[in-house]
A and B are shown apart, each in its own frame.
Chain A
Amino acid sequence: MHVLDLDYMLGLLPILLGYLPLTLEMAGAGMVAALVLACLLAVVRVQRMPGLNALAMLFISFFRGTPLLVQLFLFYYGLPQILTFLVAINGITATILGLTLHFSAYMAESIRAAIVGVDRSQTEAALSIGMTQGQLMRRIVLPQATRVATPTLMNYFIDMIKATSLAFTLGVTELMGATQKEAAGSFLYFEAFLLAAIIYWVVVEILSWLQRRLEKRLNRAYQR
């Protein structure tokens, strides 16, 4: 048993931190795209748009019903064999695409539940004073649904940050891939992966702190 090599870890820290931006960029891009897609899916589901609703349900069912890793391999290794113009798809793009589709399926259901959960009598009150459906959505329903959905969506964002580590299986050198390479060179696997774990952990803790502040803000209107 060897003692923890702290000097090695300290030296490794700046190297690994150098890969954190890529991790955060993939998660950030995936989150923004997933939010947009999830809102669209949720609206389709809430309005029960004929045809589209069935497609949305199929989409959600598939992307919730299969492992993210399988989906990533499908996009990165599988799809280019069928859609030959995709040969150029790189690991980063494939990861963002996979994260987007996978998480949008989960997020769509949270957003849908939040919209449906808004008190129906407030909808009627808005209509009764002559608001249009669009005004009702923008000014009454969505602000309230946002408050309800935010904690869940933030949790998905945290999950997504951790899930970016799967990009390493597509040959992307992000935080996880870099750690693997460093560890293979030094044979100090414990130190290297412990450090990677700590970096993920700190990032998630910072986000959790932001999440709590955001929720407090959003809940201000509802305090007695």
Chain B
Amino acid sequence: MIALNGITKRFGAHTVFENIDLTLEQGEIIVVIGPSGTGKSTLLRCINYLETPDAGRLTVGNLSLDAKHATRREILALRRRTAFVFQNYALFSNKTALDNICEGMIVVDGLSKAEAHARGREILERIGLADKANAYPASLSGGQQQRVGIGRAMAAKAEVILFDEPTSALDPEWVDEVLALMKHLALERQTMIVVSHEMQFAREVADRVVFMDEGRIIEQGPPDELFTNPQDERTQRFLRKVLANNPI
């Protein structure tokens, strides 16, 4: 189980969000939507401790910590239980596709190089890049890079994978292959929180869609309900705008 209780984040005087609560069951897939600047990325980053929350509790599996006063060990433990997929892929440019995937297994999990490579090749197989094991990021297309980014997150065997707009930096031609891989993970019931503007994906894959606006969770529910019968006026307005551009 993943739980955020009363998570608050400020940048100086600017409060991004206050007292956010969110709970996921294992195997649940959540898609977070909302206008720009609402705090979606910041929320994901807090769960991975890339941002330090100003208050609240984070619980991932059997680890529960006071988010503001987490110790170094707790932070590392939290990060091992969570994995992040970045909008701009953020692959290690000095490492091959295989080594990008294996890095965490070797350095963080302490696997031998042989074990890590065996698992890494399995993952490359699953993300459809078995033939790119020795390619460096600079030689891969955006879609391939993002699939390696997802592979790196899969290798972490995290309890939850956090996706921050994984397709929005991609040329349109590469979007589908990345979404297909994410759907694949969803079918395997990998717990995930996805920030995305891909409404079609949300509709097909999400167990629950969360609508955020101005640092608050305004409304959440199964995609059928939220998309067809949004309760809050802000949700209605947002969906009208987004669906007008990208009808489902």
* Residues of A participating in the B interface, judged by any CB pair closer than 8 Å: 119, 121-122, 124-132, 135, 139-140, 143-144, 147, 220-224
Contact A144 B76 (CB under 8 A): no
Known interface pairs A130-B156, A221-B136, A224-B139; A125-B86 also in contact (CB < 8 Å)? yes
Instruction: List B contacts of A128 (CB < 8 A).
Output: 48, 50, 79, 82-84
CB contact between A125 and one of B80, B84, B96, B108 (< 8 Å): that residue: B84
Contact B93 A222 (CB under 8 A): yes
Instruction: List A contacts of B63 (CB < 8 A).
Output: none
Q: Of all chain A residues, which has the CB nearest B136?
A: A221
Nearest chain A CB to B98 CB, angstrom units: 13
Contact B79 A222 (CB under 8 A): no
Contact B138 A124 (CB under 8 A): no
Answer whether residue B40 sits at the interface, using C-beta atoms and an 8 A cutoff. no
CB contact between B108 and one of A131, A143, A144 (< 8 Å): that residue: A131
Contact B138 A127 (CB under 8 A): no
Nearest chain A CB to B192 CB, angstrom units: 14
Q: Which of A119, A128, A220 has the most CB of B within 10 A?
A: A128
Nearest chain B CB to A149 CB, angstrom units: 14
Answer whether residue B57 sits at the interface, using C-beta atoms and an 8 A cutoff. no
Contact B104 A131 (CB under 8 A): yes
Known interface pairs A122-B93, A126-B92, A144-B93; A131-B107 also in contact (CB < 8 Å)? yes
How many Å lie between the Cα of A208 and that of B153 in the bound state? Answer: 42
Contact A129 B156 (CB under 8 A): yes
Contact B138 A223 (CB under 8 A): yes
Contact B94 A129 (CB under 8 A): no
CB contact between B79 and one of A119, A122, A129, A140 (< 8 Å): that residue: A129
Instruction: List A contacts of B103 (CB < 8 A).
Output: 126, 129, 131, 139
A-B contact count (CB 8 A): 76
Answer whether residue B208 sits at the interface, using C-beta atoms and an 8 A cutoff. no
Instruction: List B contacts of A130 (CB < 8 A).
Output: 76, 79-80, 104, 108, 156
Answer whether residue B187 sits at the interface, using C-beta atoms and an 8 A cutoff. no
Instruction: List B contacts of A119 (CB < 8 A).
Output: 90, 93
Contact A223 B79 (CB under 8 A): no
Answer whether residue B152 sits at the interface, using C-beta atoms and an 8 A cutoff. yes
* Residues of B participating in the A interface, judged by any CB pair closer than 8 Å: 48, 50, 76, 79-80, 82-84, 86, 88, 90-96, 103-104, 107-108, 136, 138-139, 149, 152-153, 156
CB contact between B90 and one of A124, A135, A144 (< 8 Å): that residue: A124
How many Å lie between the Cα of A83 and that of B4 in the bound state? Answer: 63
Q: Which of B50, B80, B91, B107 has the most CB of A within 10 A?
A: B107
How many Å lie between the Cα of A185 and that of B71 in the bound state? Answer: 73
Selected A-B contacts with CB under 8 Å, 26 pairs: A121-B88, A122-B91, A122-B92, A125-B84, A125-B91, A125-B149, A126-B92, A127-B50, A128-B79, A128-B82, A128-B83, A128-B84, A129-B79, A129-B83, A129-B84, A129-B153, A129-B156, A131-B104, A132-B76, A135-B108, A140-B92, A144-B94, A221-B93, A221-B138, A223-B138, A223-B139
Contact B138 A224 (CB under 8 A): yes
Instruction: List A contacts of B84 (CB < 8 A).
Output: 124-125, 128-129
Known interface pairs A222-B136, A223-B136, A223-B138; A124-B86 also in contact (CB < 8 Å)? yes
How many Å lie between the Cα of A220 and that of B88 in the bound state? Answer: 22
Instruction: List A contacts of B152 (CB < 8 A).
Output: 125, 129
Instruction: List B contacts of A144 (CB < 8 A).
Output: 93-94
Contact B86 A121 (CB under 8 A): yes
Instruction: List A contacts of B90 (CB < 8 A).
Output: 119, 121-122, 124-125
Instruction: List A contacts of B107 (CB < 8 A).
Output: 131, 135, 139
Nearest chain B CB to A119 CB, angstrom units: 7
Contact A222 B76 (CB under 8 A): no
Contact A143 B79 (CB under 8 A): no
